[in-house]
Structure 1
């Protein structure tokens, strides 16, 4: 297994270029992030070039965070804004050599929300394709993100089939899937053709992968047996300084 440090949570206290360098020093094989847009793309690209790490993915902007927004793509009344944050994310990803963008759905429900999300995902896939960028969608659990439009892998598969674009994939976050559905081993086996990226954290506390109810030694072995060889995203919330939570990493 190879591993990617999600810098939205790991070394979050550092400027993004320094967090990239910290991930390299710690032994990660790649990095990923949430919303890097406040950092000049040139500074991020320089840190990636210096370390030899690739940025695997980033998210579209959430919208008006002060108003509680958490994505725009499934909001029927915000189509223009959804296109704007998709364009922003694709442009930034292209500038730093990042090959995946997670398009965030937002808090919404119902057939009109689905219609808007499908249309916006089609827009995203069409605009990302010339850059060789994959569009990802991620089900979020109802405990951390109550009211979020996309909550299950079955719903994600339905959306992917509806959009029918070769560069639209599922971001399979073991933490969210375990909380909503469980049965990670079989879910990974069945959904592997749809999966574009895998993330992990302990359940239920979203800590490092050596506590809680999920046996990640087993899960990592399953993922490897299925032929998945991309770096897995460590997207957990460290309760200690990040470097003090990494004793799981050299074991792999």
Structure 2
């Protein structure tokens, strides 16, 4: 497994490019969110390996799909400049606070069909440029109420329905623990469709070892399945970034007791 760290939530007292440098120097790949506010030339100059980034700027899987596709293609060009292989998607455009720009508290059958067709177009876009789009699950109970297709079961169903190698899951285990639980069984079910895994502990969204999720057991299950992809830490540091990174590395490199 490769380990990555989200620069949006670590070393937050530093300028963004310096955060990337610190994460890279610690031996991790780097995840970023939106590219719109970033100095891409400065990020490229760091020489870091970028794991994933936001794959769209606006729009939704079920409305303003053309806007979503236009901004997805813009995002692809930035990803190619950074050498970033995965572009992250959600069911709809999110505000800075994580809430949907246009909430959808009820998802109709027509919305499911539209979402699948939009994802088919995104998968073909990814194939054209040699990148992968990954659809992330979110929780609607705590952080993202009103986001359509929030549960991992929903994102898995959509990815399965599209059935294209350039569309995979960004399986966020923090979100899934809040929304669904039964994480190891979820990983087994989703395994053929995994593009990347994101982690944080529940309930504080800090690094592994600070909450209720047994991440060493999850790491053991991933090794048993033969997972050789990326696990990304998308979490706050509970008591210092260096400690958080060490706990994250230990959770996924040491054998479970």
TM over 0.5: yes
Corresponding residue of 1:167: 166
Q: Does 1:119 align with 2:105?
A: no
Contact 2:6–2:32, Cα closer than 8 Å, also in 1: yes
Corresponding residue of 2:157: 158
Corresponding residue of 1:105: 91
Corresponding residue of 2:100: none
Q: 1:205 to 1:248 in 2, by over 3 A?
A: same
Tell me how far apart the structure 2 counterparts of residues 154 and 244 of structure 1 sit (CA, whole Å).
33
Tell me how far apart the structure 2 counterparts of residues 214 and 85 of structure 1 sit (CA, whole Å).
35
Corresponding residue of 2:61: 74
Q: CA deviation at 1:238?
A: 2.2
Tell me how far apart the structure 1 counterparts of residues 114 and 37 of structure 2 sit (CA, whole Å).
28
Contact 1:37–1:92, Cα closer than 8 Å, also in 2: no
Contact 1:73–1:116, Cα closer than 8 Å, also in 2: no
Contact 2:233–2:248, Cα closer than 8 Å, also in 1: no
Q: CA deviation at 1:62?
A: 4.9
Contact 1:60–1:104, Cα closer than 8 Å, also in 2: no
Deviations 1:205-248 (A, max 9, x none): 11111121111111111111211122310011224442343331
Contact 2:57–2:68, Cα closer than 8 Å, also in 1: no
Q: 1:229 to 1:112 in 2, by over 3 A?
A: same
Q: 1:187 to 1:249 in 2, by over 3 A?
A: closer
Corresponding residue of 1:214: 213
Q: Equivalent residue of 2:246, what SS?
A: coil
2:138 aligned residue (137, 140, 143): 140
Tell me how far apart the structure 1 counterparts of residues 78 and 112 of structure 2 sit (CA, whole Å).
26
Contact 1:135–1:167, Cα closer than 8 Å, also in 2: yes
Q: CA deviation at 1:42?
A: 2.4
Q: CA deviation at 1:160?
A: 1.4
Question: Alpha carbon RMSD of aligned pairs, Å?
Answer: 1.9
Contact 2:207–2:248, Cα closer than 8 Å, also in 1: no
| TM-score, reference length from structure 1 | 0.86
Contact 1:201–1:207, Cα closer than 8 Å, also in 2: yes
Contact 1:59–1:104, Cα closer than 8 Å, also in 2: no
Deviations 1:153-194 (A, max 9, x none): 221222113222221101111111111111111111121001
Q: 1:12 to 1:150 in 2, by over 3 A?
A: farther
Deviations 1:77-105 (A, max 9, x none): x1232122211211111111111111222
Tell me how far apart the structure 2 counterparts of residues 89 and 126 of structure 1 sit (CA, whole Å).
15
| TM-score, reference length from structure 2 | 0.85
Corresponding residue of 1:178: 177
Higher RCO structure, 1 or 2 (CA under 8 Å, sep 6+): 1
Tell me how far apart the structure 2 counterparts of residues 23 and 248 of structure 1 sit (CA, whole Å).
14
